[in-house]
Amino acid sequence: MEALVVFTSENNHWLGHRLHPQFRHVYCVVPTADKVVTEINLTSIGIQTKSFLGTPRELAPDYMDIEETTEVVLIPYDPADRHLLPYMLNNCVGLTKQLLGIRYWSLTPYQLFKQMEQHYAY
């Protein structure tokens, strides 16, 4: 299976102006059932979820068409192989890493993107 990691330039966080201008926010889209995916997004009002028909690979072009999206990365995803991390920041990067079992050291969306760039060919 695959999941999508979506990077955007949108951010309403009070520290958003200090982040890389093209990588201020990140969220993920994970497969949940046959041909159904769930978008999980930590926003300023809480965790928002939406479900769509399709696979992450099929929906990747649609996510690139969203206005403030800067990058969409397809990564391998296996819920059974996902190891929960003991400590994680309560931010969009922490939630994305926890949901997908990503173990790179990164605190900001740009750091996460640079780590993914090294590990996944897309």
Instruction: Please report, in tens digits, the pLDDT of each residue of the chain (122 residues total).
Output: 899 999 998 877 666 667 777 888 999 999 998 889 999 998 888 899 999 999 999 999 999 999 999 999 999 998 887 777 777 777 889 999 999 988 888 888 999 999 988 877 65
What is the pLDDT, as a whole number, of residue 82? 76
Domain assignments of the chain as residue spans, ordered by start: 2-119
Query: Containing H/E element for 51?
Result: strand 46-53
pTM: 0.88
Rg of the Cα atoms in the chain:
13
Are 99 and 30 in contact by the 8 Å Cβ rule? The answer is: yes
What is the pLDDT, as a whole number, of residue 14? 66
